[in-house]
Amino acid sequence: MADEHPTVADQQQIWGGRFAEPTDAFVARLNASVDFDRRLYREDIAGSRAHAAMLGAQGILSAEDAAAIDAGLTKVQAEIEAGTFVWQTALEDVHMNIEQRLTAHVGEAGKRLHTGRSRNDQVATDLRLWLLRCVDETLPVLDRLTDALLTLAERDGAAILPGYTHLQRAQPILLAHHLLAYVEMFERDRGRLVDCRRRAAECPLGAAALAGTPFPLDRQMTAAALGFARPMANSLDAVADRDFAVEFTAAASLAMVHLSRLSEELVIWSSQEFGFVELGDAFATGSSIMPQKKNPDIPELVRGKTGRVFGDLVALLTVLKGLPLAYNKDLQEDKEALFDAADTLRDCLEATARLLPSLTVRVERMRAACDAGFVTATDVADHLARRGVPFREAHHVVGRLVAWCIAERRTLPSLTVDEFRSFHADFGDDITEAVTVEASVAARTSEGGTAPARVNAALATARARQATRGA
C-alpha cells in the first residue's frame, strides 16, 4: 500500500478542477477507504465491465473503447490477484485506484468508463454484489453446521437427558429432540439470509449521483449482466439506503444468538458438574498453570464474538438513522461493520460445524441426571388427570408427593402403588410404569413432541431437506 501525500494532481484526478490545493495529509488518510474497501475489487471490476459493455451496446462508447476497457480491466484484476497492484491511499478508494490503473493501461478509453455513472451508484452496486456473494458463500457453511447437528442426533440421539426450564431439571427428552431444536433455529436463520439476498438483488447502477443520467442507459442490461433481478426503481433510494446491509447484519445477529446459546450449553454440558459431553482435544485448550484443565475455548469464543456482531448491527443502524437523502459520506462507515459481521458469522458457523463431530456424549451421565431429579412429576399429575382428577388438584397432590420424597430421600420410580395412593386414592395400578423416564419420553406423542416416533420422523424430514441442498 502506497502511503504518499495527495497532490493537486491526485485531487484533480478524483474531483476535477474545483480544488486548487490538496487535502490535508491527515484528513486524506481519514477520508480514504481503500484499506478496507479494496476487498470489493472483484465486484467493482464486474460492475465496470457490465457498465462498459452496456455503454458500447448503446453507442455511448465506441466498440473499440468498450473492448479496450474490458481487456484493461482483465489486466487490472490479474495484477490485483497476483499481488503486484499498488494500492494508493491518495486515490481514496477501490474505485479510483482501479480506474487510475485502467487508464494507465488503455489511455483515453479508461477516462470514458465513468460516463453515465457516479461513485455513489458504483459503490452501492459493488456492496450489493458483495453481499449476494457473501450470502451464497455463507449458506453452505450454515448447511454444514445443520448437517453436523443431524449427524450427532443420528449417532447419539437416543440418549435421554433432562430438558430444562430456568436451568432446573424439568422433563426427560431425547438428545435428538434437543439437537433438532437448534436445527429448526438455524433453518429460520437460513430463511432470513435467503430473504435478505432476494431483497438485495436489485441493481443501483444507472442511478448515478442521485437523480439518474441523461445518457440513454440500458439499466435492464447491466442488472441482468451482474445477476441482479431488476434495476432499483428510484435513483435516490438506490444510492442513499443501506437497509440490505442492516438486514444481513440483523440476520447474522440472530444466527449468532443461536450459536451462542448452543455454545453456552456446550460450555455447561462439558463442565465436571454436568459431564454430559466431552469436547475433542482439537477443540479445547489447557491452562498455563493448572495441568488438569480442559477448557471449552471454541464455544466460549463463539459466545463472546456474538457481541461484536450485535455491535456491527447497532453501528449500521446508527449511521443510517439521521441521514438526509441522498448520499452522505457517513455511508463510508457501512463496509467495515458489514464485512466484520459477515466474517465473524462465517467463522463461528465453521468452527461449530467442525467441533460437533468431536463430541463424546456421556449417555450415562445424562440418564443419571434424569434419575436424580423428579423429571417425571408431570407424568404423575397427567396420570391423575386422565383418571378424572382436575389437573390443578393433581398438580397440588404431586407437589406434596415430591416434597415428601425430598424429605425421605426417595425417588418417584422407587415408590410403591400403596405409597402413591397414600397421597391420593385415584392412583391406578399402572402408576409405577408411568413414572419411568422411558415411559415419560414415549408418552409425548403430540406433534413436535419428544416421543421417539415423532423425533425419528422429524429427523428424517430434516435430513431429506438437507439432501436437497447437497449438504
Q: How far apart are CA 381 and CA 390, in angstroms?
A: 9
CB-based burial label for 99 (10 Å; 0-12, 13-18, 19+): buried
Among this protein's residues, is 166 annotated catalytic? Answer: yes
Q: What count of other Cβ atoms lies within 10 Å of the Cβ of residue 157?
A: 22
Rounded CA gap, 374 and 411, in Å?
A: 7
Quick one: which H or E segment has residue 231?
A: strand 230-231
CB atoms within 10 A of CB 2: 11
Please pick, among 95, 105, 118, 166, the residue that the annotation labels catalytic. 166
119-156 and 243-269 helices, crossing angle to 10°: 30
DSSP letter assigned to residue 2: B
CB burial of 402-430 (b: ≥16 within 10 Å; e: otherwise) equals: beebeeeeeebeebeeebbeeebebbeee
DSSP label at residue 356: G
The values of phi and psi at residue 230, to 5°, are -170, 165
Peptide bond into 326 cis (omega under 30): yes
Give me the phi and psi of 252, to 5 degrees please. Answer: -65, -40
Longest dimension (CA), the chain: 100
Q: Please state, in angstroms and rounded to a whole number, the distance separating the CA atoms of residues 340 and 86.
A: 24
**Is residue 88 a contact partner of residue 34, using CB atoms and an 8 Å limit?**
yes
User: Which residue type occupies 293?
Assistant: K
Q: How far is CA 414 from the centre of its chain?
A: 47
Catalytic residue among 62, 287, 414, 422: 287
Three-state DSSP state, 202: strand
Beta bridge partners of 277: 361
Under DSSP, the state recorded for 126 is H
Residue 287 annotated as catalytic: yes
CB 85 within 8 A of CB 39: no
| Residue 360: half-sphere exposure toward Cβ, Cα within 13 Å | 11
Cβ-contact 417, 429 below 8 angstroms? yes
Distance CA 23, CA 90 (A): 9
CA dist 420 and 412 (Å) reads 9
Element (H, E) at 361: strand 360-361
CA distance 283 to 299: 9
Active site residues: 166, 287
